[in-house]
Structures are given as C-alpha cells and as structure tokens.
C-alpha cells in the first residue's frame, strides 16, 4: 500500500486499485481510440456457464423464486382499461432470495469469485439492497464484508430506508461505515480497498450482471412452460442499469427475444442526488431518475474502468411514474394480494398497472422483481420523514406530484399514468459526452458499430448524429472566432 493517502494521490491510483481489487484485466477489452471496448468479451468473461451460475446460486439460497399472478390486481386494472384490454400481471417474487431482493443474484457471483481467488473479504459501496445481499452472501462463504453507505445529511438526519439496510447488513455480520452525503464515499472506498486488499464487489462488474441473467432466464422458461409463450412485456425498475442489462440478456438466452424490455423509474426531477439539502427530500433511495438518467447517458461513471451494466443497450422503452403512484401501488399490492413488499420493485409495478392497459386480456406482463420490506423501507417511515421535511402529502392528479415539495396519491387506478422518456434524446446526450471526450474526431467503422450497439440504435443514426455534433461544434467555434476578431 502506498503511503500517500491524500485525496489527489489516491484518486490518481484509482485505475490500479480497481484493477487489482476486481481481479479483471480491463485493458484486454479496450479497443484503440478510447471510445469502444469489447463489451461482449467483458460481459462473458466470468468463467461460468448459465447452468453453473444457477448451481452457485442454488447452493447459496438464491434463485428459483416464484412467479405469482396478481389476479385481483389484474381485474382492478382491467376495469380501468379499454374493452378487451388489461393484460395479466405477474410478479417475480425476488423477496424470496436470501437477503430479500434480486441483488442476491448479483452478490452471489461476486462472492463466489472472491472466495475462489482467495480474498479474505469484500467491500461494497452501496446504500441499498446490494449491501445486505453482499453481507448475506459473505456470511455464507465465511468472508468478511465491509459496507460503505451514504446515510446522513449535514443535520444528522438519517434516511430511514438506508438505516434499515444498515440494520440488515449488521445482522449478517458486516462492518458498516456510515457517511454523510458527499464526494468522500468513493475516496474512502479506494483507501479501504488498498488497505485491506479486499475484493471490490462492485455492482458493475460482469459477475454482477451475469448473476442477474438467471432471473431473466427463469422468467422466459417458466412462462414458456406454463403458458406456451414468453411474456409480452417485462417491466424492470431502472437505476444503474444492471437490472435491465442482466434481465434482458437472460430473457434472450431463455428464448424470449421478442419480449419488450421496459424500464421504469420514479420521477425525482429537480432533486440532486449529491445535494445535502435534497438528500432527505426524496422518498426513494433507488430506482429513480437521479440514477436512471445519468447512468443511462454516461454508463462508465462507476467504480470500475468499464461498466458491464449498460441500460441503454437493452431498453426498448423507458417510462417514469410519480412517488405517489408507487406508494399507491404498494398499498394495493398489500390490500388485494396479501403481499407486503418494498418500494423499489413497486416502481415497476406502478408502471405495469398502466402498461397492462395497452395489451389484450390474454397477454402477460411481468413485473420482474420484488424486494423485502421492513421498518425503514415501509411507506409509513418514508412519508413520516417527508412530513418532517415540510413536504405535503395529499391526494391529487399526477401533475400535482412535485419531487421535494408534494407527494400526491392518485384517487384511483384509472388516474395512474406513465411519462414516456425520449430514448432518442438520451442517445444524443450519450453521444455528446463521447464527442467531448474524443474531441469530435472522425469515427472508425468499428467505433460506429460499437456505438450503435451501445445505443440500441442503427449505425446510420450514429453517423448522422455524429456529423451534426461535429458540424455544430465547428459552427460554434467559427462564430466565436469571428466575434473575437
């Protein structure tokens, strides 16, 4: 370990630290020019077949979760649908995994890799379910787990959902470091990785995304076995991109390539996730636009050199729902189906209750995951904090729901909705960032192919958009030069 522990010195070593702690030589996947890399090579680099992943997960209390039909909720949605419409809604009950969420699938392979390579422990920087999943799997493997969390604002107020995750992590024997919101999280993670020599159980390694592929595969094969066809739609709560990536790849491997992959996030527009004043003005700690948008347009803004979780590469459609709609869906799930589940999975449930109206009564819409609930994750805790923060809680229209100011519950299922996210606009934002980094130089053919795949778009789209970006930059530069002269 280097003796230089100042912020600048540690950040300068981030690449070296990450490569050593993840056990992956990312350089071997890089292509010339700094834009493209061998995504498929990285994604398939873990030395496991899908059957082997399933064996690892079964041996560690993960996977083979039930697929429940929400018959009463589906009937209610059908009443708000056009005649003949209102698809059958199913949920994949990932709360049945060890630690109570689909994140156990991600953690299972990360811990398997850490154990196989002789690491004494693992580190994960996460305020969500993933921390509990890593702690749970570490306990099964007999490894140490160190979890870093952003918990408090500068007034010492703890986010109740994050505090619930702290309790869960500690229950599994993990050591938890609680931090205030701010930039020090990544710095401290780097310091500890270097000091301990632990494995970086990052959400964004190919181990983590491969672990989720079993989830999509289970959905595809069970629907085929039970109903003779794949689902029409899989609605997936979208944050950092791993959930969408792993599930979409698993669906394809299970023969459900025609299933529409729809991401759903809670609309928290206007709230900055790294802001001390905004930190506790949000009622959801994941599955929201504060993660969904930036990770979609800039997927490599993570704690490893290249992110295996790339949502835009797999999304067919992306929608947002309001905070009030998610709380409403949560209560309906409990009242009608006898299932008390946490908020993240119910983000996609709220969207599915609207999207199901677009499909026929015999079609299948799958809500791809649920999560456990608990004292801090229960709506009561979040709504209590909202009231303490001066946020109004009321009943009203969708447009009445204003992040950080008002939570509005819909008066009925018929008044729920979704807001479409313009994927073309996100693709252009992605390309603008790449253009700045590359100096708007001409693209090589292999870079065009890579960008088209990463954007889930045509190569013609990439060529045309890149030409417009380059022309706009030249026009701006020429105009500025003329004015200055």
Q: Where does a domain end: 420, 449, 476?
A: 420
Q: Is position 348 within any domain? A: yes
Give me 84's structure tokens: 């003949």
Q: Is position 316 within any domain? A: yes
Note whether 345 and 442 are same-domain residues: no
Nearest residue to 142 via CA among 158, 159, 118, 165: 118
Residue 172 CB-density burial (10 A; 0-12 exposed, 13-18 middle, 19+ buried): buried
Q: Is position 53 within any domain? A: no
pLDDT band at 474 (very low <50, low <70, confident <90, very high): low
Q: Is position 57 within any domain? A: no
Q: How far apart are CA 107 and CA 100, in angstroms?
A: 12
pLDDT number for residue 374: 86
Note whether 91 and 119 are same-domain residues: no
Note whether 296 and 177 are same-domain residues: no
Residue 279 CB coordination number (10 Å): 24
Residue 89, H or E segment? strand 88-92
Note whether 322 and 358 are same-domain residues: yes
Contact 97, 194 (CB under 8 A): no
Note whether 243 and 274 are same-domain residues: yes
Note whether 201 and 253 are same-domain residues: no
Note whether 447 and 459 are same-domain residues: yes
Contacts of 390 (CB under 8 A, 6+ apart): none
Q: What are the C-alpha distances in Å from 23 to residues 114, 118, 306?
A: 9, 11, 13
Q: Is position 35 within any domain? A: yes
What residue has token string 């996730």?
Answer: 273
pLDDT band at 372 (very low <50, low <70, confident <90, very high): very high
Residue 438 CB coordination number (10 Å): 15
Domain that holds residue 467: 426-484
Note whether 360 and 446 are same-domain residues: no
Note whether 449 and 369 are same-domain residues: no
Note whether 92 and 107 are same-domain residues: no
What would the mean pLDDT of 357-383 be, rounded to a whole number? 94
pLDDT, tens digit, 9 for 90 and up, residues 287-323? 999 999 999 999 998 888 899 999 999 999 999 999 9
Note whether 405 and 276 are same-domain residues: yes
Q: Is position 339 within any domain? A: yes
Q: What is the CATH number of the domain that holds 326?
A: 3.40.50.1100
Give me 481's structure tokens: 């030069």
Q: Is position 166 within any domain? A: yes
pLDDT number for residue 81: 98
What are the two backbone dihedrals, phi and then psi, of residue 260, each rounded to the nearest 5 degrees?
-70, 130
pLDDT number for residue 164: 92
Contact 233, 262 (CB under 8 A): yes
Contact 10, 187 (CB under 8 A): yes
Q: Where does a domain end: 420, 451, 473?
A: 420
Residue 184 or residue 68, greater confidence: 68
Q: Which of 110-124, 269-283, 342-356 has the lowest mean pLDDT?
A: 269-283
Note whether 129 and 167 are same-domain residues: yes
Q: Is position 151 within any domain? A: yes
pLDDT band at 274 (very low <50, low <70, confident <90, very high): confident
Q: How far apart are CA 38 and CA 346, in angstroms?
A: 34
Alpha-helix runs per DSSP H in 120-275: 129-141, 160-171, 184-196, 206-227, 242-253
Nearest residue to 50 via CA among 210, 219, 221, 246: 210
Measured at the alpha carbon of residue 17, what is the angle toward residues 12 and 18, in degrees to the nearest 5?
110
Contacts of 418 (CB under 8 A, 6+ apart): 264, 319, 320, 321, 351, 354, 355
How many domains are contained in the chain?
3
pLDDT band at 182 (very low <50, low <70, confident <90, very high): confident
Q: Where does a domain end: 155, 182, 205?
A: 205
């Amino acid at each position: 370990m280097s003796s230089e522990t100042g912020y600048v010195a540690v950040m300068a070593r981030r690449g070296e630290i990450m490569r050593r702690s993840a056990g992956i030589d990312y350089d071997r996947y890089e292509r010339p020019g700094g834009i493209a890399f061998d995504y498929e090579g990285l994604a398939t680099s873990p030395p496991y077949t899908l059957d082997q992943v399933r064996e690892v997960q079964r041996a560690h209390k993960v996977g083979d979760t039930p697929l429940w039909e929400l018959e009463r909720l589906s009937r209610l949605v059908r009443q708000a649908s056009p005649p003949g419409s209102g698809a059958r809604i199913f949920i994949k009950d990932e709360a049945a995994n060890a630690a109570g969420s689909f994140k156990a699938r991600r953690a299972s392979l990360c811990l398997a890799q850490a154990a196989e390579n002789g690491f004494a422990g693992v580190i994960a920087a996460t305020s969500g379910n993933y921390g509990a999943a890593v702690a749970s799997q570490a306990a099964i493997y007999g490894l140490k787990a160190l979890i870093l969390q952003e918990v408090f604002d500068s007034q010492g107020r703890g986010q109740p959902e994050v505090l619930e995750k702290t309790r869960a992590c500690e229950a599994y024997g993990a050591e938890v470091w609680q931090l205030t919101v701010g930039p020090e999280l990544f710095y401290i993670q780097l310091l500890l990785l270097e000091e301990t020599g632990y494995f970086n159980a990052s959400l964004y390694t190919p181990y983590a995304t491969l672990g989720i592929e079993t989830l999509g595969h289970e959905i595809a094969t069970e629907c085929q076995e039970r109903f003779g066809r794949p689902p029409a739609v899989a609605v997936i709560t979208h944050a950092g991109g791993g959930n969408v990536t792993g599930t979409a790849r698993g669906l394809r491997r299970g023969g459900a390539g025609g299933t529409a992959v729809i991401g759903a996030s809670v609309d928290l527009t206007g709230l900055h996730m790294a802001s001390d004043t905004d930190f506790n003005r949000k009622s959801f700690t994941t599955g929201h636009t504060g993660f969904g948008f930036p990770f979609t347009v800039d997927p490599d803004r993570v704690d490893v050199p290249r992110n295996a979780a790339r949502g835009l590469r797999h999304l067919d459609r992306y929608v947002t729902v309001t905070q009030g709609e998610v709380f409403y869906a949560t209560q309906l799930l409990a009242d009608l189906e006898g299932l008390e589940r946490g908020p993240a999975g119910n983000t996609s449930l709220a969207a599915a209750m609207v999207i199901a109206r677009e499909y026929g009564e015999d079609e299948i819409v799958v809500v791809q995951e649920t999560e456990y609930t608990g004292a801090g994750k229960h709506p009561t805790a979040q709504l209590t904090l909202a009231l303490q923060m001066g946020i109004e809680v009321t009943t009203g229209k969708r447009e009445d729901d204003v992040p950080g100011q008002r939570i509005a519950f819909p008066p009925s299922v018929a008044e729920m909705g979704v807001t479409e996210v313009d994927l073309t606009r996100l693709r252009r934002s992605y390309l603008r960032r790449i253009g700045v980094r590359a100096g708007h130089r001409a693209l090589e053919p292999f870079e065009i192919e890579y960008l088209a795949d990463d954007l889930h778009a045509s190569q013609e789209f990439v060529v045309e958009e890149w030409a417009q970006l380059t022309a706009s930059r030249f026009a701006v530069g020429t105009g500025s030069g003329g004015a200055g002269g």
